[in-house]
Amino acid sequence: MPLVRIWGPLEKMLTKKLNKGYDPEARPASLLLYYASSRSPWEFLQPLVAAKAADIQARFERSGFDSMWLFDATTGGILFCFSQSLAPVINDPG
C-alpha cells in the first residue's frame, strides 16, 4: 500500500481539526482521532508520525486543544498523544 494512501487521510484530518475554531470556554479541550472498524496501519504510520512530530507539535500548539490522541479501538491502544504540557508520546508498533 502506498504511504500517501495511509498518511494522506490522517494528515488531512489533523489539519482540518487543528485549524478549526472551537468554543474557547470549553476547557480543557481534547481531540480524539481513532480507528474503529479496521486495524490501523500504525506499523507504517508510526515512522512518518515520528519524523513529522515537530511539525505536528507546532500545528497542535497553535490549536485550541490541550491534548490530542490517536486511538486504535480494534486493539484498545493509544497510538500517539500530543499535549500542551508534555512531550509527544508516539508508541512503537508491536
| DSSP3 helix / strand / coil % (the chain, rounded to 5) | 40, 20, 40
What percent of the chain stands above pLDDT 90?
39
d(CA 4, CA 37): 20
DSSP letter string, 55-94: HHHHHHHTSS-SEEEEEETTTTEEEEEEESSS--EEPPP-
Question: What pLDDT is attached to residue 2?
Answer: 61
Q: Taking the model in full, what pTM does it have?
A: 0.80
- Express each pLDDT in 13-58 by its tens digit: 889 999 988 887 888 889 999 888 777 788 888 998 999 999 999 9
**Domain regions of the chain by residue span:** 3-18+27-90
